[in-house]
Amino acid sequence: MNREIRCAVLGVGRLGYRHAVNLATKVKGATLTAVSDALPEVAERVARELDVPTWSTNPDELIARDDVDAVIVVTPTDTHAAFAKRVASAGKALFLEKPLTLDLQEAGEVVKAVQQSGILCQIGFMRRFDPAYAHARNRILAGDIGEPLYFKGISRDPTAPPVAYVAASGGIYLDQSIHDYDVARFLMGQEVTEVQAMGSVLFSKEVATHGDVDQALTYLRFGNGAAGDVEAYRNAFYGYDIRAEILGTEGTLVVSGLQYHNVTLLQPRRSSYDVLPGFLERFSDAYVLEMEHFIDCVQKGEQPTVGVRDGFEALAIGTAARQSYRAGSFVSVADVCAGVPVNAGGASHV
């Protein structure tokens, strides 16, 4: 019989709380033994609600505990590198939210720490586990669209995140478009070699104080000559709008869906449905499925299908995009990785 994997969640804010609930109530083979948050009232409330025996404001205390086998890092992005390295030194399994870090040098250090310690590591690219994206990938692998030639990704949030979140997020290319960069690699089965990015502040003036934009477009070129584009917008208002298209030589796949409940209201001369309000609703299944995969891998001692190297590659594309937005020209992904030990991370999973 498989052993129970004892988990600690670091950071129980918007997404960490969802991971904690899933681990405590839905993910087979997992036991939530500890939670941490910088805000003691938040950590204590979540521990009480989910019947978790240990809570702390000090993540290091939890990483070191004997009754913790796996650590799920869902703290702000500017803390990821430090926690990931500490989990690696403790020899525990690591689930690390995207993006890997804010900076490629730091990301290279995380890749090295993970590889040298031999720990198991999964990155929180949950779209790969979403049934629609996973189905699209299977259709591509089955040859249903021939050779994939063009990728289009759209990610529109209903409203911009709080300014404090933006400050620690790395900006729209690293924080939001990174999901599409990963999915582009996953669906096209190719590495992105160069990008050209543009962006504007259309609505949220305050993001500009952090050098960020609220609307971004990234043109992608892949190693085999295929191409793509990724659009991101922070203020769609109508809802959470996530789409992808893959154009191939023999067909096109469209991943879309704005509808929240499977109910349509029919009225004279019009019909309507309610629109997905946010990421927690759109990807609720994916958040459970990615965590089930992580726990299954820990139980079997196998590396997850989306690892630290994938986190690095997506961050490299985002870093090139951010640089391109500033420079106004194409930027090569290899150039932004110059001097970083990118080959140290083992297999990537395009």
Ligand X SMILES: NC(=O)c1ccc[n+]([C@@H]2O[C@H](COP(=O)([O-])OP(=O)(O)OC[C@H]3O[C@@H](n4cnc5c(N)ncnc54)[C@H](O)[C@@H]3O)[C@@H](O)[C@H]2O)c1
- How many CA atoms within 13 Å lie on the side-chain side of 72? 32
Q: For ligand X, give the closer residue by CB, 55 or 222.
A: 55
Residue number with the smallest Cβ distance to ligand X: 13
Shortest Cβ distance from residue 19 to ligand X (Å)?
9
Ordered alpha helix ranges (H), the chain = 14-25, 40-50, 59-63, 80-90, 104-117, 131-141, 163-169, 172-175, 177-188, 279-282, 284-300, 308-327, 333-336
Shortest Cβ distance from residue 312 to ligand X (Å)?
15
Q: For ligand X, give the closer residue by CB, 163 or 327.
A: 163
Shortest Cβ distance from residue 268 to ligand X (Å)?
39
Shortest Cβ distance from residue 175 to ligand X (Å)?
6
**Beta carbons of 56 and 82 less than 8 angstroms apart:** no
Q: For ligand X, give the closer residue by CB, 74 or 316.
A: 74
Burial class of residue 95, CB neighbours in 10 A (0-12, 13-18, 19+): buried
Shortest Cβ distance from residue 226 to ligand X (Å)?
25
Q: For ligand X, give the closer residue by CB, 102 or 297.
A: 102
Q: For ligand X, give the closer residue by CB, 101 or 218.
A: 101
Q: What is the largest CA-CA distance in the chain?
A: 65
Q: Which residues sit at the interface with ligand X, rule CB under 6 A? A: 10-16, 36-39, 42, 59, 74-77, 79, 97-98, 124, 126, 165, 175, 279
**Beta carbons of 186 and 350 less than 8 angstroms apart:** yes
Amino acid (one-letter) located at 109:
E
